[in-house]
Amino acid sequence: MSFLSEIERRRTFGIVSHPDAGKTTLTEKLLLFGGAIQEAGAVKSNKIKKGATSDFMEIERQRGISVATSVLAFEYNGIKINILDTPGHKDFAEDTFRTLTAVDSVIVVIDVAKGVEEQTEKLVKVCRMRNIPIIVFINKMDREGKDAFDLLDEIEQKLGLKVVPLSFPIGMGYDFKGIYNIWEKNINLFTGDSKRDIEETIKISDVSDPALNTIIGDTAAETLREELELVEGIYPDFNKEDYLNGDLQPVFFGSALNNFGVRELLDCFVSIAPEPRPKHSEERLVDPKEEKFTGFVFKIHANMDPNHRDRLAFIKIVSGEFKRNTPYLHVRHNKKLKFSSPNAFFAEKKEIVDISYPGDIVGLHDTGNFKIGDTLTEGEFLNYKGVPSFSPEHFRYINNADPLKSKQLYKGIDQLMDEGVAQLFTLDLNGRKVIGTVGALQYEVIQYRLEHEYGAKCSYENLNVHKACWIEPESVNHPEFVEFKRVKQRFLATDKHGQLVFFADSIFSLQMTEQKYPSIKFHLTSEF
């Protein structure tokens, strides 16, 4: 196949939602249709032995939540699909924001009973800022929940989306009969039996056909006709251009756990979702069809394989072909590196690939060369932007609980911080280490992973800090900056990249400091 047709058959998307709406379960079912796994695992803890394929870290299996973004790839009808299943829990939101820099479109999962939740609002806002095309999947239709029209209104109001339903439920919860597929004009009946293969759909080209009454009963048929008439009256017709520009969002209904409505979603996704899109670098806009290879690191994961202590850098390929054993330029270090075993993923299973195309995600073994946001090219000096570090909201001193293991502890902290799990600051005054995270759950994950992956024990001490701000002085010798450093010495630290950080203990003290030193800029993200 030619280079161009390889690009055209790639679709790379992320699945985002509030925790427990069913992202990981939906991911599993998509893989099932792609023939990638024979039996899908649910995330429900303790119910069944098989865990979800995409939750491969021990801690994820214990808690029944996703902690790290996982990358999965499969083929469906000749289309190569790359899925990034992101963590929903807000304590891991930073991982999710970074992942959104590497996708071309997004599926947002919404729980029919809970409707739009706060984490969904935040994530959709990020997608809207970047104009990422969105498809909405309303999950758990086999449970009692909100009325379909109320839900669609809620999505329009809270998320600011313009929706168009491409399938519609027949009843819900106890009375759930099935789904009318508006996109393909057929009906899929719900049996409630997840063992049965639900490929059987009944073609109904005209809803006024009396055959509908015999299939789903008179009352359900009448209601469906009225509702579809309403849908046609209220919502715009689907237009692919508008969807690709981020101005129109198709909605599907279904139940991922019962494997229902997922095939409809996948078929439509394959035909409308965007192929790899151009991406902005600081220097210029890079088109995927360019012949020269470029790509960037959006995630680093330490210890994918507990037996080998390996670190993998995940690279999203933006343009050109990435070939095995070919030297590429690491732009930040300005040196050439070559990779003998680039991996393609299927949760924790990996295969070595000889050649990858734009849209693909490749894992490279890393001995500490990469940081999140690094760019690789064939020689051009390019820097992809938009992979920020956010100001943490929780701060704790980290102490070594086992003096004999200090080397393991520092190595472990170092690698976990490179991974972007949290941020490490060193106080200027006494050199004590402070860990800042976006969510409190991160501390448990760090403690757990230090002990189980590095054999080091740590303890924490609370530290009263409201925000960490990155400092940008007018000039290093500015008298105001010199005085600031002298007066605020107790509150100054450096981050991992050696940038100066100011710890403000309250909103009030931050405002006072900003007024007192007008020549200094205080930033809440590290990308300035």
418-442: per-residue pLDDT in tens? 777 788 999 998 889 999 887 777 8
Q: pLDDT exceeding 90 applies to what percent of the chain?
A: 14
Q: Residues in the chain, how many?
A: 528
Task: Tell me how many helices (H) and strands (E) the chain has.
Answer: 14, 31
Band (pLDDT 50/70/90 cuts) for residue 328 is very high
According to DSSP, residue 78 is labeled T
241-258 pLDDT per residue, tens: 999 988 899 999 888 887
Q: Is the predicted pLDDT of residue 42 greater than 50, yes or no? A: no
Average pLDDT value for residue range 137-152: 86
Q: Is the predicted pLDDT of residue 310 greater than 70, yes or no? A: no
Average pLDDT value for residue range 324-349: 83
Q: Is the predicted pLDDT of residue 499 greater than 80, yes or no? A: yes
Six token digits for residue 431: 């050199």
d(CA 442, CA 180): 43
Among 37-41, 44-48, 360-364, name the most confident range. 360-364
Q: pLDDT exceeding 70 applies to what percent of the chain?
A: 83
50-106 pLDDT per residue, tens: 455 555 455 555 554 544 557 778 888 888 888 887 765 555 566 677 778 888 899
283-307 pLDDT per residue, tens: 888 999 999 999 998 887 765 555 5
Average pLDDT value for residue range 506-527: 86
- The more confident residue out of 23 and 105 is 105
Q: Is the predicted pLDDT of residue 46 greater than 50, yes or no? A: no
C-alpha separations of 408 from 415, 457, 514 in Å: 11, 9, 40
C-alpha separations of 411 from 221, 309, 377, 461 in Å: 64, 11, 29, 20
Average pLDDT value for residue range 216-221: 78
Mean pLDDT of the chain: 80
Average pLDDT value for residue range 121-125: 83
| 61: nearest Cα among 69, 70, 52 | 52
Q: Is the predicted pLDDT of residue 165 greater than 50, yes or no? A: yes
d(CA 496, CA 371): 11
d(CA 322, CA 326): 8
- The more confident residue out of 349 and 134 is 134
pLDDT of residue 294: 92
